[in-house]
Amino acid sequence: MNLLDQFGPPVLPTGLGPLRTAVREFVAEWTPTSTPEKRALSWMGFDADFSRLLGTKGWLGLSIPKQYGGHDASPFERFVVSEELLAAGAPVTAHWIADRQSAPLILRHGTEAQKQRYLPAICAGELHFCIGMSEPASGSDLASVRTKADRQADGSWVLNGRKVWTTNADRCHFMIALVRTDPASERHAGLSQIIVDLTLPGVMIRPIKDLSGHEHFNEVTFDDVRLEADALIGVEGDGWAQATSELAFERSGPERFLSAMTLFRCLVGAVGPTPDARQAMEIGRLAAWLISLRSMSISVTAQLASGEDPVWAASCVKDLGTGYEQDTVEVAMRLIDSLPPGEQAATTRRVLAIVQSMAPSFSLRGGTREILRGILARGLGVR
Amino acid sequence: MRTLLQETIERLLADTVTPDLLRAAETGVWPADLWAEIEALGLPFAAVPEDLGGTGASWSDIFVVVRACGAAAAPVPLPEAILANSLLASAGLAPPESGVIVFAAGSADAPIADVPWARHAQWLALRDTTTGRIALYSLTDARIAPDSNVAGEPRDTVTLAPGSLIADADTSAATDAVLLGGAMLRSAQMAGALGRLTEVNADYANERVQFGRPIGKFQAVQQQLAVLATQAAAAVAAAEAAFLMADPAPDLLTTASAKAVSGEAAGKGAAIAHAVFGAIGFTHEHSLHFLTRRLWAWRAEYGSDAFWAERLGRTIAAAGDDGLWPLVTGAFAETTNP
């Protein structure tokens, strides 16, 4: 691997300006109806009405073909819409997983019937998905999942087991779960992806309160849940490969460096137009990394757009980006006493408290820092 | 153009820049053969428009040349010559056809400190801070007080001789064009050096055996190497963006970001490299220090990471909270095309 060639020039194609302006104006109209505290939740903010509104605007399912309700747009258009929404702290979590991961997965591996059933509603912002990966005994060691789906004589499935840390399971319609379909299998073999209707009998969802007091994630228990034959997505036994191929999309997007953007904005406002040297240096350092991370993310988007599979570069963006988000909290802590007193300083304190209590999760969700660094080391030829 | 430039420079430097050449250069030996090859390829004129006798390459293409110079620790002022000739061309002045040319900002009638490679140069492109003009001086009769940076690269103090002005002209270049241009060059050199540092670290981790296995098999070492690689990648991407936006002139936002990020990455990266190599890498005999000492030196030149972060921070603060995001997204416009 030539490290120097993993990131090319950060060129966004021309013609995206009007889309960017439209999204920016739309969120500017929405902003006064929100609060900095809500915007601080970033992509953990839930608002089903807002997601539906984005659907009517045509800003969901951008990369999905028109025949399934999408817009046949390039990854760059999705990048622009995503970063504008995230930078403004818009509440995107209701549709986020469905739009980012479930829809591309269904498009790539689903049957025609599955595509017609799910994709139009996802593109309309009406159908919300969550991802069932982790289990009580399977965190970073995902290949150890034990939740199992047993094939019945008529082709249907019976699902038993437990998923945990499932973001928004209590507010989603479907889960795409990674489960063991070959009872005799071990590790990466014998796993499949399966779509679970979360309203079915035998599905129990228990919210888990996190340290910030929010209930974003859940424990989901399956007790003899009967699923139709077409709950299987893709190829039986190929679940591991299918799930990991999603990761380049999950790991390089702007949500990997914009989770603390509301806090950064607050800080800039609170120090005012004539900062002292220390304030200017801290804020400028954050801006330098933000500009550079965005450059890396655009470069990865370009590789995705040309059909490449930039796993190494995507892992790199996530490791650096989540570190940067956590660093924003550190910078805020260093500056908090220096802010001129007033409403903006008070707001910044409240936003800092929120982002600070979310920050540990930034480098846990979507693959821990240590797992990512293992992937990076393998790419370097050690391991 | 970019691929051709990259292949040309990387092959040339791989063939010529050996540890022996680097050691000799540090004792003051000028690698005349290497420079002759560089001139024969026309590389110092890469950024000069074709009508002034250059190649007319974009800075985005030139990025790979400067990066390669950093990766090889090339003991010649090719990045400096490219920028010097480009400064002359931007003022409508024709660059000298041969000879080593470097650049500086300062006043022609006072000593000019920290001029890179001056003792080996024949020409100086001066951004005259008194007149505001761009001037070409001959260094043949100049007084040179030798000095060097922490990597042993010449950083001399130059007193120009009377009557050594060859030509000068008004320029539309920014008053800090030399500072910005120098920062941009150093960010790409640091990116190259960090990339190379990652490669030699990974190779060493696979070779060096301790506790009965290559040290690269230990997770503690793997995680460190991953951090080094991400810092290198960040420096590469940051510098790449600065060069992408450097036509027609170096750009404040992306250059400040690049120097801030690559400088910080240089500090972290060099520390990890030395940790992985242990005492072996701390010897003068080993070639690791040709990269790490340059990283330390380049981090400090043309504004440290803290300097550029502060300057960027003042720009951000002046834009205010509502201006922050438009400024970030405007850093590289969507209309750019390399």
Give pLDDT tens digits for A127-156. Answer: 999 999 999 999 999 999 999 999 999 999
Residue A382 at interface with chain B, using a CB cutoff of 8 Å: yes
Hey, what are A110's tokens?
Answer: 């689903």
Mean pLDDT of A355-371: 94
Q: What is d(CA A304, CA B237) in angstroms, rounded to the nearest whole number?
A: 17
Q: How far apart are CA B265 and CA B234, in angstroms?
A: 8
Least confident of A114-123, A288-297, B33-42, B245-254: B245-254
pLDDT for A5 equals 81
Which chain B residues are closer than 8 Å to A17 by Cβ? 334
For tokens 């655009």, the residue is A298
Residue of A77, A246, A250, A325 marked active site: A250
Angle at Cα A332 formed by Cα A328 and Cα A335, nearest 5°? 140
A248: confidence class by pLDDT, cuts 50, 70, 90: low
The alpha carbon of B207 is separated from its chain's Cα centroid by a whole number of angstroms, namely 31
Q: Does A272 touch chain B (CB under 8 A)?
A: yes
Q: Can you tell me the mean pLDDT for A327-348?
A: 97
Please give the pLDDT value at position B337: 45
Cα dihedral A83/A86/A88/A92 (nearest 10): 130
- C-alpha distances out from residue B57 to A196, A278, B49, B181, B255, Å: 56, 39, 8, 16, 19
Phi, psi of A184 (to 5 degrees): -90, -5
Interval A191-212 mean pLDDT: 97
Fill in the amino acid letter for B304: S
CA distance to partner chain A, nearest, from residue B322 (Å): 8
List of residues 6+ apart from B213 with CB closer than 8 A = none
Find out whether A40 and A354 touch, Cβ atoms under 8 Å: yes
- The answer to whether the Cβ–Cβ distance between B225 and A382 falls below 8 Å is yes
CB–CB of A282 and B230 under 8 A? Answer: no
Peptide bond into A340 cis (omega under 30): no
Between residues B89 and B337, the one the model is more confident about: B89
Q: How far is B67 from chain A (nearest CA, A)?
A: 9
Rounded to the nearest 10 degrees, how much is the dihedral formed by the CA atoms of A163, A165, A169, A170?
A: 110
Average pLDDT for B76-80: 98
Tell me the pLDDT band of A42, cut-offs 50, 70 and 90. Answer: very high
Among A265, A261, A276, CA closest to A340: A276
**Comparing A299-308, A339-348, A353-362, B190-199, which segment has the lowest mean pLDDT?**
A299-308
Which is more confident, B106 or A12? B106
How many residues in total does chain A contain? 383
| pLDDT of res. B338 | 39
Is A376 within 8 Å of B230 when comparing Cβ atoms?
A: yes
To 10 degrees, the CA torsion angle through B316, B318, B320, B322? Answer: -80
Q: Does A18 touch chain B (CB under 8 A)?
A: no
* Other C-beta atoms lying within 10 Å of the C-beta of residue A109: 18
Chain Cα centroid distance, residue A129? 12
Residue B220's pLDDT is what? Answer: 97
- At A1 the pLDDT is 64
Pairing of strands A157-167, A148-151: antiparallel
Per the structure block, which two tokens stand in for A193? 């992806």
Query: Position of tokens 């951004």?
Result: B127
Calculate mean pLDDT across residues B63-88: 98
Measured between alpha carbons, how far is residue A317 from residues A163, A309, B226 in Å?
27, 14, 12
Say if the Cβ atoms of B324 and A13 lie within 8 Å. Answer: no
Which two structure tokens, joined as six digits, stand for B180? 């910005």
Instruction: Name beta bridge partners: A161.
Output: A222
| Amino acid found at A304 | L
Q: What is the DSSP letter of B160?
A: P
Supply the pLDDT for residue B185: 98
How far apart (Å, rounded) are the C-alpha atoms in residues A215 and B225?
37
Residues B205/A382, Cβ–Cβ less than 8 Å: yes
Contact B228, B203 (CB under 8 A): no
Question: Look-up: residue for tokens 């919210």?
Answer: A207
pLDDT exceeds cutoff 50 at B336: no
Tens digit of each residue's pLDDT (9 = 90 or more) over B194-234: 999 999 999 999 999 999 999 999 999 999 999 999 999 99
pLDDT, chain A, mean: 95
Contact assessment for residue B34 and residue B76, using Cβ atoms and an 8 Å cutoff: yes
Q: B301 — alpha (psi -120 to 50), left (phi > 0) or beta?
A: beta
The distance of A316 to chain B (nearest Cα, Å) reads 6
| CA B12/CA B34 separation, integer angstroms | 8
User: Residue B121, SS3?
Assistant: coil
Q: Which residue of B has its CA nearest to A297?
A: B237
Which of A291, A318, A330 to mutate against chain B (most B CBs within 10 Å)? A291
Q: How far is Cα A119 from Cα A103, in angstroms, rounded to an integer?
A: 6
Q: What is the DSSP letter of A238?
A: B
- In the predicted model, what is the mean pLDDT of residues A72-83? 95
Q: Contact, B85 vs B47, CB < 8 A?
A: yes
Looking at residue B334, its pLDDT comes to 65
Residue ranges of alpha helices (H) inside chain A are 17-30, 36-39, 48-57, 75-87, 93-97, 103-109, 112-123, 239-245, 247-251, 261-271, 277-305, 311-335, 343-362, 369-379
User: What residues in B contact A370, CB-CB < 8 Å?
Assistant: 223
Other CB atoms within 10 Å distance of the CB of residue B271: 16
A287, B217: Cβ pair inside 8 Å?
no
Tokens 């390459």 belong to residue: B57
Q: Answer whether B260 sits within 8 Å of A285, measured CB to CB.
A: yes
Contact (CB, 8 A) for A1 and A312 = yes
Mean pLDDT for chain B?
Answer: 96
Instruction: Say yes or no for a CB contact (<8 Å) between B226 and A319.
Output: yes
Q: How many CB atoms lie within 10 A of CB A377?
A: 23
Identify whether A250 is a catalytic site residue: yes
pLDDT at B132: 93
Report field, pTM of the whole predicted structure over 0.90? yes
Interface contact flag, A280 B310, Cβ < 8 Å: yes
How many Cβ pairs within 8 Å bridge chains A and B?
209
The pLDDT of residue A247: 72
Residue-wise pLDDT for A24-40, tens only, equals 999 999 999 999 999 99
- Determine contact: A288 vs chain B, CB below 8 A: yes
Residues of chain B with C-beta less than 8 angstroms from the C-beta of A291: 238, 241, 253-254, 257, 328, 331
